[in-house]
Structure 1
Amino acid sequence: MQIITDSSCDLPKEILEENNIIVVPLNIEIDGENYVDGIDLTHEEFYKKMATSEGLPKTSQPSPQSYVDAFKKAAQRTGETLCIHLSSKLSGTMNGAIMVREMMEKKIEVFDSLSGSMGLGMQVLKACEMRKEGASLEKIIEKLKEYRDEMRVVVYLETLENAVKGGRVNRVKEMVANLLNLKAIVHVEEGYVKILKTIRGKKRATNFILEQIAEKNMDFKDRIIGITHCDCIEDALALKEEIIKRFSPAKVLVTTMGPVIGTHSGQGGLLVCF
């Protein structure tokens, strides 16, 4: 079975290669220049360009040809294909995959992660794990639905600058937030991104995220906790150490957040998936 995802999954290159995952790239436009995510724009380059851009970078779903190429490549490898994509509530990426699938002869299942970044990435890893165990396509989809529904994705926003650039928050509110040192915490709910809480100070915001993990009230010894960061590796590693100390998970996977979700999170943002 071949597994396909899109570049918003934010999984490190070595993990993608190790698990033989095909990635369909999204597109990014920054100040009139167009880039293909992960092909001619790295995460590091993206944050440098975003920091000096006049407006908010724009992202768009993969081209139809990208899907055709991915499906043809998959068909050469195996008879069955599972595509796991960015939330359909946030992007047309999944619908694009469904449209192209209708032109293909091979069996292709398209699954809505109802998430993004590591929330998507961890579902892809779960599918790879079950594939190694010999699970059928139907069984993998069944378990993915359970895993998706119990998953929590929480995001810390260091700044509201990108929300202002995107027109979602006005400049006055940003000034007030900066003056009071207010930090926004958002989360993914039913595929949408919604504000969870506004907290004064970074330390309190981080503690709130740790409390959210604790409230799950489960043994993490066999679970992976994912962290993606918006060009703030030191903050991500500090959070990783605290998570290990408090919850002793099987693994904490830390990587950079790519342009698709990073555009909206902004510099200094942290996403935690558990």
Structure 2
Amino acid sequence: MQIITDSSCDLPKSYIDKYNILIVPLNIEINEENYVDGVNLSHEEFFKKMAESPTLPKTSQPSPQSYLDAFKEGAKRAKQMLSIHLSSKLSGTYDGALATKKMTGDNVEVFDSLSGSLGVGLQVLKACQMVEEGLELNKIVERLKEYREQMKVYVYLETLENAVKGGRVSRTKEMVASILNLRFVVHVEEGYVKVLKTLRGKKRAVSFMLEKLTAEKDDFKDRIIGITHCDCLEDAIALKDEIMKRFNPTDVIITTMGPVIGTHAGHGGLLVCF
């Protein structure tokens, strides 16, 4: 079975290579320049260009040809395909995959992750592991739905700069938040991103996210936890160290946050999912 996903999954290349995952890239526009995520724009380049841009980058779903290319290659590799995508509540990426399936008639199951960044990526890894175990497609989808329902995604926002650029927050409100040292934690709920908590200071905000893990369970030895960061690797490593010490997970994956979620999180943003 061939697993397919899109570039919003933020999976490190080592995992993509290990499981031979096919990636359908999304598109980004920065300062009226067009890029293809992971093809002619790396995450590091994206953060640099985003910081220099006076306007918010725009992301769009993959081109129809990108879906066609992935499905065509997938059909060469396997009789069945499972294509897992960014939340349908955040992007048209999932709908684009569905449309391509209907057009081609390929033997592909299209799955809505109802998540973003490594929230998608961890579901992709789960599917790959189940393929290795020899599970049938219907059983994989059934267990993937259960995993999706249990998944939690929390994002710490260091700054509201991108919210100002995008017109969602006024410059005055951003200045007030800065003066009061306010930090925001958002989460993914039913596929949508919603503000969960406003706290004073980064330390309290990060502690709040750790408390959310504690509220779920004491021992994560059967779970992989994902962390993505917006150009703040040291913060991500510090968060990983604390998670390893407190929760004993199977593993903690650290990677950069891609353009799709990174555009809204902004520099200094941290995402944790499990």
User: What is the alpha-carbon distance in structure 2 between the residues aligned to residue 249 and residue 88 of structure 1?
Assistant: 29
Say whether residues 1:112 and 2:112 are aligned partners. yes
Contact 2:218 2:247 in 1 (8 A): no
User: What is the alpha-carbon distance in structure 1 between the residues aligned to residue 64 and residue 90 of structure 2?
Assistant: 18
> SS at 1:103's partner residue?
helix
Contact 1:230 1:267 in 2 (8 A): yes
Q: Residue in 1 aligned with 2:215?
A: 215
> SS at 2:103's partner residue?
coil
In the TM superposition, 1:228-267 aligns within 5 A as 228-267=228-267
Q: Residue in 2 aligned with 1:87?
A: 87
CA deviations on 1:37-87 (whole Å, 9 max, x unpaired) are 000000000000001001000000000000000000001011100000000
Q: Residue in 1 aligned with 2:137?
A: 137
Q: Which TM-score applies when normalising by structure 1?
A: 0.99
Contact 2:228 2:256 in 1 (8 A): yes
User: What is the alpha-carbon distance in structure 2 between the residues aligned to residue 107 and residue 36 of structure 1?
Assistant: 27
User: What is the alpha-carbon distance in structure 1 between the residues aligned to residue 103 and residue 26 of structure 2?
Assistant: 21
Q: Residue in 2 aligned with 1:155?
A: 155
Say whether residues 1:57 and 2:38 are aligned partners. no
User: What is the alpha-carbon distance in structure 1 between the residues aligned to residue 247 and residue 176 of structure 2?
Assistant: 35
- Name the count of aligned residue pairs: 274
Q: Residue in 2 aligned with 1:188?
A: 188
User: What is the alpha-carbon distance in structure 2 between the residues aligned to residue 221 and residue 96 of structure 1?
Assistant: 36
Greater displacement, 100-109 / 186-195: 100-109
Q: CA deviation at 1:265?
A: 0.3
Contact 1:79 1:106 in 2 (8 A): no
Identity among equivalent positions (%) equals: 70
Structure 1: which 5+ residue stretches go unaligned? none
Q: CA deviation at 1:105?
A: 3.4
Contact 2:228 2:255 in 1 (8 A): yes
Q: Residue in 1 aligned with 2:101?
A: 101
Q: Residue in 2 aligned with 1:200?
A: 200
User: What is the alpha-carbon distance in structure 2 between the residues aligned to residue 124 and residue 34 of structure 1?
Assistant: 27
Q: Residue in 2 aligned with 1:30?
A: 30
Q: CA deviation at 1:103?
A: 2.0
CA deviations on 1:96-118 (whole Å, 9 max, x unpaired) are 01111112233111000000100
Contact 2:84 2:110 in 1 (8 A): yes
User: What is the alpha-carbon distance in structure 1 between the residues aligned to residue 103 and residue 96 of structure 2?
Assistant: 12
Q: Which TM-score applies when normalising by structure 2?
A: 0.99
> SS at 1:245's partner residue?
helix
Q: Residue in 1 aligned with 2:124?
A: 124
2:172 alignment partner AA: V
Structure 2: which 5+ residue stretches go unaligned? none
